[in-house]
Every structure is written in C-alpha cells, then in structure tokens.
Amino acid sequence: MADTPAPACRITAAICTYERYDLLPGAIESVLAQSLPAGTFELVVIDNSPDPDRSAREAAAFARRPGMTWRHEARPGLSNARNVAARLARAPIIAYLDDDARADPAWLENIAGCFDQFGGAVGVVGGRIRPWWSAPRPDWLPDEMLGDITVVDLGPHRRLVAEGEWLAGANIAFRIAALQAAGGFDTSLGRNGGGASLLSAEETALTDRIKAQGGQVAYDPLAAVDHWVDAERLTQRWFRRRAAWQAVSDYLRDPKAAMARRDQAWAGMKAFLLTCNPADRTMRGLALQREDAADFRWQTSAVYNAVNALLAGLDEQDDV
C-alpha cells in the first residue's frame, strides 16, 4: 500500500524578533495552534538578537515542535530579517507576525482564504490589529492616532484596500513571488536593534512597489491579531518621537513627495506655534505636555511637519 503523500505547505508564518524572549513564546504558541491542518503551514523564527548562545538556548525549548524552524541571523535589521524569512519559506505565501503579537486561531486560514478568493492579482493581504493594552489608554490619545501604535481596523468585510488605506507589518502577508519581484524589503528602512530608532515604512514601501507592478492589496478582518502596547509607548514623549521618525521614514521612502510638501509642512508647523503662548513659540511649544486630545494631535502633526520641512530644506529671510 502506497504511503499517503504529505500535504503541501500552503503558507509560511514568520516571526522576526530582537531580544523579546519574554513575549516571543506566546507569539510562537499562537502560530503553532493555528486551525489549518498540520503540514499545510510552517513557522519560521528569525532571531536577530546579538547573543547567538542565548538564541540557541531559547530555541532549544521548541526543538521538538514540528513544522518550525529557528534561525539566528547575525546581520541586524528588521527588513533584512524579513527577507531572510522569505528565502527560507517553503510555501508560496509568507505571513509576518510581530514577536509581541498573538494571532487568532484562524489567522493563517483566513489569510490563505483571502489570497484564494481574490486570485493571483493580489500580492499583499493584511488583517485587523487590535490593541493589547499594558496600561490604561490615556485620555489625551485620540482615535485618529491609534495607527501610531499599530492599530488597524478597516471594517468588517474582506475586500480590496482602497487608495489611502494602509496595512501594518505586525500582521501582513505577501505572495513570495511578488515580494521578490519587487526587490524584497528595503534594508535602509525599518527598525534596527532596540528602540533607539523608530524608522519604519518598510512594508508600505514594498507594498507600493508591488502595486506599481500591477499587484493588488486586500484586507481580511478575520485574519486578526492582538498586538502588545507597551506602557513606554503610552507617553506623549514617545508619540512625538514616533511623529519625527515617521517624517524621516517618509522622506527616505519618497524624497520627491517630501520635497513637494515642504512649504505646506512649514506653514502647518508655524500655524500650530501661533496658537501657543508667545513664550512657547519655539521648540518648547513642540514638547509641552498637552491635556486635550485634539491639541495633542495637532502638536504631533506640527512635529512631523517641522522634521519634514527641515529635511526638505528651508530658506527663510527676515522681512525688510
């Protein structure tokens, strides 16, 4: 009697991590417990942590788990780690999950189903990302800024993503052929090491290149994850840093667009400062604590605009 052939690997889940051994096991377990039949999915963990011996000890705890590969990657950088995961993947689709996230049991099943439903034209699929609060949400944090802590909710229906909508790297999947044809993740973008840099936009840049090559992008709300919101991110200082680094990321992703926004950005920053007390119409006005959510949103927008304008180049002159 002939042996039953092993099922084809339909989708690869990838977790790229950097010294998050406290939260990483939970992310791994949420993937290994997926609803897809065994053998139809796999998990690749790329450990970018600096200590290979520590990485090996942590990997040993999962050595007997089937369908899982753990790779220590010495070259730093999230974008590089994601590219390494794509090269190791056995499936035609790769789904990325952050190391501080927890996937719903049908996460991979719904991602794969979304690709199947929309066909080969879709090169990217993303899903809902719910906040997993480590501390109470501050009163000064408006809904419009939840995207800064990687909250994504594009509604209750599986659909193609509209112009101006975006997906986040904590829960995003690619056809590997489309990813490779678009050059993979840009290693000049993305986080590199701990939290000193908040450089981002690498998945947006890759998605834009896939779209430029004719690919489509889809969203599935049932391909959902919970994403840890660390208490250190729930400070106004962190959000101002996030806004400044987003301006840097956007400039690196599309310098021409940033240059075109220079005068508008500069005017927007000055308009905000004119609402401040005269003594605060300096950098101090961009750093003062704000109690009102709308005021804080305007302040962080002014921080973004100031960095955008400075990167694009300014040439002010005194009035004669």
Residue 1: per-residue pLDDT: 46
- Tell me, what CATH number does 178's domain have? 3.90.550.10
- More reliable by pLDDT, 316 or 151: 151
Final residue belonging to a domain, choices 169, 200, 233: 233
User: Which of residues 233, 260, 278 is at a domain's end?
Assistant: 233
What local confidence, expressed as pLDDT, does residue 59 receive?
A: 96
Average pLDDT, the chain: 92
Answering whether pTM is above 0.85, one says: yes
Q: Are residues 218 and 162 in the same domain?
A: yes
Within 10 A of 186 (CB to CB), how many other CB atoms are there?
18
Q: DSSP letter string over 21-90?
A: TTTHHHHHHHHHT-SSPTTSEEEEEEE--S-HHHHHHHHHTTTT-TTEEEEE--S--HHHHHHHHHHH--
Last residue of a domain, one of 185, 208, 233: 233
Average pLDDT of the segment spanning 245-261? 89
Please tell me the distance from the alpha carbon of residue 169 to that of residue 182, in angstroms, as a whole number: 17
pLDDT of residue 252: 85
- The reply to whether 59 and 208 lie within a common domain is yes
What residues make up the domain containing 28? 11-233
